[in-house]
Amino acid sequence: MGMPVPDWDAPGRTLWGAAFAGGDAEVFAAPSEAGFPGDVAVSPDGRFLLYPLTDLGRSSGPDTTGGLLEGKFNPFLSDSSLVVLDLSNGEKRTLLEGRYNRQLFRSLGDFSATGDVFFTLAREPQGFRLLEIDLNSGAVVDFEERHPEFPWDSLDWDSFFPTGMDTNYAQFSISPEEARIVAVKDVLVGDMSNPCSPAGSYRLWIFDFESNLLQTYEDLAGSVTDLGWRADGSAFALAVQDRGGCYPEYLDAQIDLRDRDVSWLETMVSEPQSKIVGIAWSSDGSRLADDVYSTDLMGRLKIVDSATGEVQELIDTTQLGIPVDRDRPVTLLLSGWVKPAD
């Protein structure tokens, strides 16, 4: 379906780290009676390592999908806490205990421009909460406290995280100046004439904290696999999949650029008969990286220059010594940019 599904329940479940210069690897998190690391994120400056600590033994919350989610992507569970590890001094904090899960970590997990604040969502008995977390102190601030004039009462969390068989949950991203949040959610329509790739569109919301408005945009064509704001906060990019039918007809992918008011600016990249799973801006906003997988069964990592539109292919799977194998194809999954040490 065009999305990576890591098996975070696999035996071992250990987070390792190693220096680029070499040397022994270090275990940052291992499974224990308290739980196991269920995902991972690292702040842009490399100082903070964050992960949901998940304990399947105390999992609680509704599963209205008949077991389809198996706990991995169920936003209604309360089976996790958020661990913040300061790599500069080894200090570890455990936050949001009993209010967190792996899907919320995926739906919103952004860092501030300075790298010392983390934005995410938490569970509530009757919905969810947008939060900011000071990674230095561990202080948790509710967005309703930070933006009291915003019309929070009009927010329908069911539209972002519906119950039932609709497991296309919303993705959120906060702008670098923290003035806006964009959220997107795929809306798929059952169509047995095209079962491999049913008709679909996506819905987009803008939380505008400057004007205290929530704006909704319906029936935008395609489905969104990833999104991200440019460093100056003037625009955001969306990796959009067209609905193209069964393999090998496949899907067509593109990266659309929209300004902070959602007006379409340009299609930065078009990838026919391909899929794009991940995108990530460079720290200065001059380049956008993306991963591409096509009908030739090869995965590629590319970079587009946002000023000129020039596309550079960095590497493909065959250059890594991975043969083209129709039965076991391999793709590259973009994680992000690494800032070189001074």
What is the amino acid identity at position 5? V
For the entire predicted model, the pTM comes to 0.90
In a domain, 210, yes or no: no
Contact 211, 230 (CB under 8 A): no
Residue range(s) defining the domain that contains residue 116: 25-169
Q: Which of 308, 303, 243, 323 is nearest to 275 (CA)?
A: 243
Looking at residue 335, its pLDDT comes to: 83
* Structure confidence at residue 73 as a pLDDT band (50, 70, 90): confident
Per the structure, the count of domains in the chain is 2
Residues 207 and 186: their CA atoms lie apart, in Å, by 18
In a domain, 191, yes or no: no
Sign of the Cα torsion 99, 334, 65, 173 reads positive
Looking at residue 107, its pLDDT comes to: 95
Report which listed range, 17-31, 175-189, 328-342, is most confident.
175-189
Has residue 232 got a pLDDT over 80?
yes
Q: 118 and 59 in one domain?
A: yes
In a domain, 183, yes or no: no
In a domain, 284, yes or no: yes
The DSSP annotation for 115-160 comes to SSEEEEEEEETTEEEEEEEETTT--EEEHHHH-TTS-GGG--HHHH
Q: What is the pLDDT of residues 156-195, one digit of tens each?
A: 999 999 987 788 899 999 999 999 999 999 987 666 566 6
Of 149, 169, 189, the last residue of a domain is 169
Q: 236 and 122 in one domain?
A: no
Q: What is the pLDDT of residues 268-292, one digit of tens each?
A: 999 998 989 899 999 899 999 999 9
In a domain, 193, yes or no: no
Top-confidence residue, 235 or 241: 235
Instruction: Judge residue 321's burial from the number of C-beta atoms within 10 Å of its C-beta, 0-12 exposed, 13-18 middle, 19 or more buried.
Output: exposed
**Mean pLDDT in the chain?**
88
Q: 247 and 164 in one domain?
A: no
Contact 220, 161 (CB under 8 A): no
Sign of the Cα torsion 182, 220, 283, 89 reads positive
Q: What is the pLDDT of residues 100-109, one digit of tens each?
A: 999 999 999 9
